[in-house]
Amino acid sequence: MEIGKKVSHTAHCLVLSYPAQGHLNPMLQFSKRLDHKGVKVTLVTTLSMFKTIHRASSSSIALETISDGYDEGGMANAESIQAYLDRFWQVGPQTLIELVEKMNVSGCPVDCIVYDSFLPWALDVARKFGMLGVVFLTQSCAVDSICYHAQKGLLKLPLTGNEVSLPGLPPFQPQDMPSFIYDLESYPAFFDMVVTGQFATIDKADFVLCNTFYELEKEVVDWLAKLWPLKTIGPTLPSMYLDKQLEDDKVYGFSIFEPNSEACMKWLNDREEGSVVYVSFGSLAALEAEQMEELAWALKQSGKYFLWVVRASEEAKIPKNFPEKTSEKGLMINWCPQLEVLAHEAMGCFVTHCGWNSTLEALSLGVPMVAMPQWTDQSTNAKYIMDMCRMGLKAPADEKGIVRKEAIEHCIKEILEGERGKEIKENAGKWKKLAKEAMAKGGSSDKNIEEFVANLISFK
């Protein structure tokens, strides 16, 4: 298909996202791919999420909403995480049914619901209307497999101190596992959603889509594909950073934070190639004040240029006068256009919490990583970065769970100056090439999306 060519729509998909930036981004990018291949797409999120979104003028995907029961403020207005999820599970299905009914009578009938795996009740809605029900997994296949084994009772919990071996995966230490599996008491509401709920009905879905690419997780993809009709469709970055099949697709399009793009890029343009340490812990992670202090002094002691994203809600944890003391070397900013930053030639390494989206972005753009995982799937992603992809170093935490400044500084210098850094940069280049090939025309993920669209059209 020619770049930018308009197509007549052959089917209509609702793509339903859990209300978090890290879920909205990949599902939006997948929606753009479907649209490009001739499928009409309506992206659906909660009204509370919709009210916080800054929408790029270039975004052409239609957006509709359902209710989570907290239309003013979402989870932040709930008494607890459990209360929020309970209410969402009551209200969400009914308002999704109402949305489908509205579309069906408006002359734009829905043929398929692609739903975030965190919202398994959407499968019941799809079945009610006789539509395809398709699961979208926003985490890696490795993490999905671990959670599936836990849900089926095939992974004995609580974990003991022994090495964990699962089919298609490397041996894991318990601390390499997702936090709510390694420490069962840490996030019981999330355990119920991410482990128990997410995989309870996955076997009944018509297709299972995963935001990864085959070459990255071959063994575990092959194993899961024996259980489910699994297709890898990632990495879900804007096309202009990968295969360039989608014209002008340079940004995700929806963001809960407004980036200060001009200040970031102007500052980076004045830096030498490969000289900058970029630091960001995503849209959700909140570091302890002690950890923020250790990180701050590590950046100062490294003597490197650094660009540090510190959300407004986290600013009070910065050591007093730190910005003034480091103004010659550092730029601190509330939010920035991460893809543009990672793609900039000045980028040397990325100090990251190892959220799956950030991991895929760095991997796809060939940026070495210093891994500082915080919770949920991030420890498992860090294991892959260091031991499987070999394109980063994990900064070890002490007995208090704090990563000290010496450890962070060592990792930064090793990547930018050390012998191991040479191998890491070489591997980063290799994964960048493989990620692009997966999404390019005829690549593993592109072919999977084509096959999914063909199945959708034949079902219709």
Q: Are strands 330-333 and 62-66 parallel, antiparallel or unpaired?
A: unpaired
Sheet of strand 132-137: strand arrangement:
62-66, 40-46, 12-16, 112-116, 132-137, 207-210, 230-232
Among the listed residues 114, 129, 29, the one whose alpha carbon sits nearest the alpha carbon of residue 364: 29
- φ, ψ of residue 212 to 5 degrees: the values are -155, -175
3-state secondary structure (DSSP) of residue 55 = strand
| Residues 6+ away with beta carbon under 8 Å from 101 | none
First-residue to last-residue Cα distance in the chain = 22
Q: How far apart are CA 314 and CA 294, in angstroms?
A: 14
Report the C-alpha dihedral over residues 33, 47, 79, 178, rounded to 10 degrees.
0
| Residues 6+ away with beta carbon under 8 Å from 296 | 318, 319, 322
Measure the CA angle with vertex 145, ends 437 and 167; round to 5°. Answer: 90
Residue in 12, 23, 149, 344 annotated catalytic: 23
User: In the annotation, is 353 catalytic?
Assistant: no
Residue 399: CB atoms within 10 A of its CB come to 5
Residue 426: CB atoms within 10 A of its CB come to 13
DSSP labels for 82-121? HHHHHHHHHHHHHHHHHHHHHHHHTT----EEEEETT-TT
User: In the annotation, is 23 catalytic?
Assistant: yes
Among the listed residues 357, 363, 371, the one whose alpha carbon sits nearest the alpha carbon of residue 255: 357
Residue in 35, 68, 111, 116 annotated catalytic: 116
Q: Hey, CA dihedral for 295, 299, 300, 301, is it positive or negative?
A: positive
* Catalytic center residues: 23, 116
